[in-house]
Structure 1
């Protein structure tokens, strides 16, 4: 008993001689001075374009569009919608790591990660149907006319190609993601118009999958084969009825609705080589689309260290931002927005016209003669 009392006395003496210091700081102090005062009060439109990849007015429009969806998350109430969108744009534009983003904007690393993922998901889910859509009506006709005027290819509505976004080797099925260019990737199929605006995106396929297979499994292929992708409008070119079609590289199959070049492995005539050159000129738009999007949203050029399910969401969000910036910086096309509701629920035309009436080889030969006679 005495030993217990002695031990208690020793403990009380220790607490008296060595008191526990009061805890005055429960978390690391962070500063949002740069965002709140430097950016919001002093950044010019040039600064916004350089750092956030869009002008302040476009940024404010994006915040307005995302506000109803981002504010639903009560866990982020302490961070404004403007800060969340700014963090996301900065990461997409620079690929900066969360730690540096946290220091820059005055948020924690885990907060920066959650903010980025939530905002990217909101852009991909709620804004992509509004800014990425296949054209109909007068807008489609404007694109057809624009392709001929700008790229010299008549009766063309769009160009198609695949692009690889590098990723860290996934833990499962990694060989499926190792592409022919010798790196791990996720491939995305993109269709764009003559002004480099994205019309359709299919993303999420492992990098090893061939472009032709991605197309064959997409709803674009099914609609085109059934004659419901474009209206039944044809044009006589060198005596051949030509429907509205898509430009594709040699990786794709030759179809009445898909015009591809001749393989360079064969012996080509001068007329065929000239056709390939004119065709490649028309396809410059899809290369320009990829270059412009990846140049602006540089995260797509880095090896992405996300789970494979999130990467397609991020890719779709970046292409959505690509279109949003183009629409706002090059003039707002009201017809684009007027067609949102119709195009979102109905892409294609009913009833379908019979594509069997068109001969793919004859169509390509008609273009050979058309380009050769110009």
Structure 2
């Protein structure tokens, strides 16, 4: 797919070199000028090679990022969340990040975000094993968090009930039907299939504080996924100094390669060495992963702003049912009272 043929005037750059140039760029974020000296290729050639190879990688790895297509596949994700993070009926965790880019020419404030940088938004959904099952890239950084989410195909399918989610089922020890849900932070609206934290401050030992702890503990997987992505593909550690159409291509390619490495037995240990991700001890204490130790001056993906929205009565009842479950004998974890 990336092979070029020799002509009567010059020898074509080999596929191996073209792939190495692209992977070097994604892994280090080196400038085109630096890659020119390293591989002895002209800067215009480098600028053409990277997008071409990224498109080829996305074509080859397209099956590595896909949403479940049946209720049984969704249930498998939910079982993984329940086993790993003690949150039943959880289908995935969702979050958005700003990918910092160079200010595009003649764009005004279109890409200017609330943090004072220019960016595009990466909205992603992750499973319990740090794999991305959905990613939307390209919205301008100035667009609000809720606006980005509402415009994704994922949200539209969720609203139209076309995601083929499992039917509501009772939580363990309960007779009330509870739907399968998506875990988010305060940037998203509370809906029947979208759970977020209780807003405000809650005293230690209260039901709301307990729910917030269990919710945050499970939702942390998407934060770790973003952290792992930026620690391996260090192109995100500084603004993407490339043409406007290419940041989206580069970001999507890194998402596909992230899942490829996560699912490759020979590459998983190199992709996620010991200590990279947050770890939890048997008593619930968190050991921060190395991805959180961002070098001063680095500008990796940044969190979206938080903005609460009015929730429906049905959505509040669903969240209250999860809150009751976490207090019951079936849903408690031994250490939760120490943190909530």
SS in structure 2 of the partner of residue 279 of structure 1 = helix
Q: Give the Cα–Cα distance (whole angstroms) in 1 for the partners of residues 325 and 262 of structure 2.
A: 33
**Does the CA contact (< 8 Å) of 1:240 and 1:362 recur in 2?**
no
Match of 2:95 in 1: 161
Match of 2:116 in 1: 182
Give the CA deviation at 1:131.
Answer: 1.2
Picking from 300, 303, 318, the partner of 1:363 is: 318
**Does the CA contact (< 8 Å) of 1:71 and 1:77 recur in 2?**
no
Give the CA deviation at 1:111.
Answer: 1.9
Match of 2:263 in 1: 327
**Does the CA contact (< 8 Å) of 2:211 and 2:323 recur in 1?**
yes
Match of 1:315 in 2: 251
Structure showing greater radius of gyration is 1
Matched, 1:106 2:61: no
**Does the CA contact (< 8 Å) of 1:157 and 1:245 recur in 2?**
yes
Cα distance change of structure 1 residues 325 and 74 upon mapping to structure 2, 3 Å threshold: farther
**Does the CA contact (< 8 Å) of 1:161 and 1:211 recur in 2?**
no
Matched, 1:136 2:69: yes
Cα distance change of structure 1 residues 156 and 217 upon mapping to structure 2, 3 Å threshold: same
Q: Give the Cα–Cα distance (whole angstroms) in 2 for the partners of residues 186 and 292 of structure 1.
A: 19
Number of residues of Structure 1 aligned to a counterpart in Structure 2: 280
Matched, 1:279 2:210: no
Aligned-pair RMSD on alpha carbons? 2.4
Matched, 1:84 2:39: no
TM-score scaled by length of structure 1: 0.70
Match of 1:241 in 2: 177
SS in structure 2 of the partner of residue 71 of structure 1 = coil
SS in structure 1 of the partner of residue 110 of structure 2 = helix
1:68-121 alpha-carbon deviations (Å, 9 max, x no partner): x21278889712212111110111000111222222223222222221121112
Give the CA deviation at 1:176.
Answer: 2.4
1:315-371 alpha-carbon deviations (Å, 9 max, x no partner): 101111111111113799xxxxxxxxxxxxxxxxxxxxxxxxx92111100011111
Match of 2:284 in 1: none
Picking from 261, 285, 300, the partner of 2:197 is: 261
Give the CA deviation at 1:146.
Answer: 0.4
**Does the CA contact (< 8 Å) of 1:167 and 1:304 recur in 2?**
yes
Give the CA deviation at 1:221.
Answer: 1.2
Worse overlay, 271-280 or 133-142: 133-142
Matched, 1:70 2:2: yes
SS in structure 2 of the partner of residue 263 of structure 1 = coil
Q: Give the Cα–Cα distance (whole angstroms) in 1 for the partners of residues 256 and 85 of structure 2.
A: 24
Q: Give the Cα–Cα distance (whole angstroms) in 2 for the partners of residues 74 and 149 of structure 1.
A: 55
Q: Give the Cα–Cα distance (whole angstroms) in 2 for the partners of residues 369 and 278 of structure 1.
A: 12
Cα distance change of structure 1 residues 216 and 330 upon mapping to structure 2, 3 Å threshold: farther
SS in structure 1 of the partner of residue 113 of structure 2 = coil
Give the CA deviation at 1:264.
Answer: 2.4
Matched, 1:115 2:70: no
**Does the CA contact (< 8 Å) of 2:112 and 2:141 recur in 1?**
yes
TM-score scaled by length of structure 2: 0.76
SS in structure 2 of the partner of residue 90 of structure 1 = helix
Q: Give the Cα–Cα distance (whole angstroms) in 1 for the partners of residues 18 and 129 of structure 2.
A: 30
Give the CA deviation at 1:273.
Answer: 0.9
SS in structure 1 of the partner of residue 109 of structure 2 = helix
**Does the CA contact (< 8 Å) of 2:22 and 2:54 recur in 1?**
yes
Match of 1:216 in 2: 150
**Does the CA contact (< 8 Å) of 2:51 and 2:249 recur in 1?**
no
Give the CA deviation at 1:240.
Answer: 3.0
Give the CA deviation at 1:269.
Answer: 7.6
